Each structure stands twice: as C-alpha cells, then as structure tokens.
C-alpha cells in the first residue's frame, strides 16, 4: 500500500503526529486549481503517541474521529503515513520499458539485500520516478521497504475510525510533494518535471512537536534525510520547568499567549539559539556525508517555524536563502474554512497536505 498506484480518487490526508492529528481534504485538477475544502486539527493527549509510535490505540482512533468530525469532511478514503525512521529506501536504475515480472524480480532482489528481516515480514513497494538523470535510457525506481506490523498498525487505526486505507506513504515524501507541487504543479505521467533553474539542492527542515526532520531534494527526489530528537517538546519542557506548569498548561499557554514578560529573554531566546545550532549540525552532517557543500535554498515548516522571524535568523546565521514552506501558498482556500485559524495552523499541516495531494487528479 506504500505508494499505492492506479486509482487517484480524492483522499483525506491524515497525519497522526505525536502532539496532534491533522486531516485535510483537497479537490481540483492541478495547479492552480487545487483547493483546500475541509480540514481539522485535534490535539492528542500526552503519551498517546511517543516518538512516532502509537502507544494508546483507542485514544488515537477517538482523536482521529474527532478531527474528521471537526473538519466536516465526508471523504471515506484516507492517505496516512509512516515515519522515515521506519523505512529503508533505495533508488535503482533499470532498463527503460522493463517487463513487469522482470522489474518485480529486480525489486525483490534489491530488497533482500537491503533488509535483515524475512521478506514475508516486510511490506515492499516501488515507484517509477521516470527517466534517470544520469542515464536517460534507464528509469529510476524508488524501492521502499517497511515491516508489515508498522503498516498494519496504521491501516487498523484508519479502518477502526471508519476510513478506508487507500494509501500509506512516508512523511518526508509527503513534504517533498508539497515543495514539488509549489514549483511545478502536479506531475504528469511518470516523467519528472525539472525546470532549467531547478538544478540546485533544496533542504527542508520540519520542526515537529517531538522530532525534527531534515531532507534534501534534488530534481524532486529525496536524496538525503535525517531525524533529530530536538523539537518543539523542548520548548514546552522549558516553559513547564521555568513556570511550574503541567505539560498541558504549558502547551495551552504557549498557544494562546499570556506567558510572563521574561519568557522571550529567559526561555524563547535560548531555545531558538539551540534550534539554529541543531539545524546547522544537520547541514554539516549532510555536507560531510555527501559530495555537496551548499544548498540553493532552505525551506522550514512545522510548528516552531512560526517563531518570530525565524527564517530570517536562520538564513543569516547559516548563510543560505531560507523561506517558510507554507503548503497553502499555491492552494485556494474554500470559503467555509476559517482563514485566520488556518493561517495560524498552516505550518503544522504540511504532511497532511502532501498526503491529500495523492488523491488530486
């Protein structure tokens, strides 16, 4: 079900995060006609999802149902995702127009080399990315493998919430899809859309509630990704300890405002400093692990990306053009959606939007 191929009927993008569940419904037939029809965000109780792993299945199902009800969507097919930390991925080049059975054999052989589990315990899927940049006579095939138990857990949650699981994708690919859509629109056929000016590397940093995801794109493909534990949770913990609050109180107060006057200087400023240091560390790791030494641009998203003028600060400190990755910059908004609330929550909806794009024709 990873990279589910064929049917492109509308799906509800469902992002089950550690702090909240986000759902989003899109309609349309391609840029610029894609429209956000409905969306919902429901906070998860603490401990329901920890480090991307579902700990309280019943609570996750209940929260998902509340998010769907809040959205008002009537879509019964869903696209959800698993974490990049749970998958093994590799891009291989094969002869163009390879027979399907030969391609399946090649994929299975490569997967057997990649994983340490029995193939019967693994979900395997692949996606034809189109002609290889290095060799136009070959096609790039992206192989993804994940333990079946992880995929089945997501499928079970969706089914229990009354949603037909249509697609199980990967979080970083959902974010990459947003960036690709903003630059090129929806892909047509299996070939990649790469403009002449899009020859550089784009980095995306997703400052999540319980982890920070970093990926680098080239020609629309994810060529590097890495997670780090530093996240928005650290800011919540700092507030909780500084002002003697519970975790729920700290989260609520941060969202609504009303923190003491010394918050910016005593708590927020040190957090932002560490956040920038962590981002710099991720960049250094990328440069030291590859032959590259620069990025053309850096896009930031996730809840923490909305802190002040963070993109300007990161851009100056790291000497790379930095901008927000707002999934709705190239998406029309239905009049039923509260635009002020959406603007406030947009940075947390990137994955859900990327998933919902899987169902836009």
Does residue 7 lie in a domain region?
no
Does residue 3 lie in a domain region?
no
| pLDDT tens string 81-103 | 999 889 888 888 898 888 889 99
Which domain CATH number covers 32? 3.30.420.40
Task: Retrieve residue 5's tokens.
Answer: 């191929």
Say whether pLDDT at 195 is over 50.
no
- Label residue 6 by pLDDT band (50, 70, 90): low
- Label residue 192 by pLDDT band (50, 70, 90): very low
| pLDDT tens string 232-284 | 989 999 999 999 998 888 888 888 888 999 999 999 999 999 999 999 999 99
Q: Averaged over 61-70, what is the pLDDT? A: 98
Say whether pLDDT at 120 is over 90.
no
Distance between CA atoms of residues 291 and 279, nearest Å = 19
| DSSP string for 323-338 | EE--TTTTSEE-TTS-
Any idea how long the chain is? 361
Does residue 227 lie in a domain region?
yes
Tell me the whole-structure pTM to 2 decimals. 0.89
- Label residue 25 by pLDDT band (50, 70, 90): very high
Provide the residue range defining the domain that includes 189: 12-359
Does residue 2 lie in a domain region?
no
Q: Averaged over 39-50, what is the pLDDT? A: 91
Hey, CA dihedral for 43, 45, 46, 50, is it positive or negative? negative
- Label residue 191 by pLDDT band (50, 70, 90): very low
pLDDT value for 190: 44
Task: Give the chain's domain count.
Answer: 1
Q: Are 47 and 111 in contact (CB under 8 A)?
A: no
Q: Left if phi > 0, otherwise alpha if psi is -120 to 50, otherwise beta: which for 219?
A: left
Task: Retrieve residue 287's tokens.
Answer: 């440069």
Does residue 328 lie in a domain region?
yes
Alpha carbon distances (Å) from 299 to 216, 270, 291: 10, 22, 21
């Amino acid at each position: 079900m990873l990279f589910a191929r064929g049917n492109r009927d509308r799906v509800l993008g469902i992002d089950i995060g550690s702090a909240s569940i986000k759902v989003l419904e899109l309609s349309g037939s391609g840029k610029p006609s894609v429209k956000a029809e409905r969306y919902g965000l429901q906070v998860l109780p603490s401990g329901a999802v920890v480090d991307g792993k579902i700990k309280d299945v019943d609570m996750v199902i209940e929260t998902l149902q509340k998010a769907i009800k809040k959205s008002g969507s009537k879509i019964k097919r869903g696209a959800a995702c698993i974490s990049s930390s749970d998958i093994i991925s590799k891009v291989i080049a094969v002869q163009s127009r390879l027979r399907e059975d030969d391609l399946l054999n090649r994929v299975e052989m490569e997967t057997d080399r990649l994983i340490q589990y029995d193939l019967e315990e693994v979900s395997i899927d692949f996606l034809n990315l189109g002609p290889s940049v290095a060799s136009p006579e070959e096609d790039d095939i992206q192989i993804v493998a994940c333990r079946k138990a992880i995929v089945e857990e997501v499928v079970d949650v969706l089914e229990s919430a009354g949603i037909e699981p249509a697609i199980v994708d990967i979080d970083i690919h959902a974010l990459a899809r947003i960036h690709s859509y903003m630059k090129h629109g929806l892909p047509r056929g299996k070939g990649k859309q790469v403009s002449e000016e899009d020859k550089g590397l784009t980095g995306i940093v997703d400052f999540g509630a319980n982890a920070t995801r970093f990926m680098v794109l080239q020609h629309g493909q994810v060529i590097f990704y890495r997670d780090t534990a530093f996240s928005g949770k650290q800011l919540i913990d700092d507030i909780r300890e500084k002002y003697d609050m519970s975790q729920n109180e700290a989260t609520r107060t941060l969202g609504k405002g009303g923190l003491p006057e010394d918050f910016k200087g005593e708590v927020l400023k040190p957090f932002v400093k560490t956040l920038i240091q962590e981002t710099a560390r991720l960049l250094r790791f990328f440069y030291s692990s590859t032959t590259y030494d620069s990025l053309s641009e850096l896009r930031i998203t996730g809840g923490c990306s909305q802190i002040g003028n963070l993109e300007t600060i990161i851009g100056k400190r790291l000497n790379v053009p930095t901008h927000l990755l707002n999934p709705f910059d190239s998406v029309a908004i239905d009049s039923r959606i509260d635009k002020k609330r959406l603007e406030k929550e947009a940075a947390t909806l990137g994955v859900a939007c990327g998933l919902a794009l899987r169902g836009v024709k």
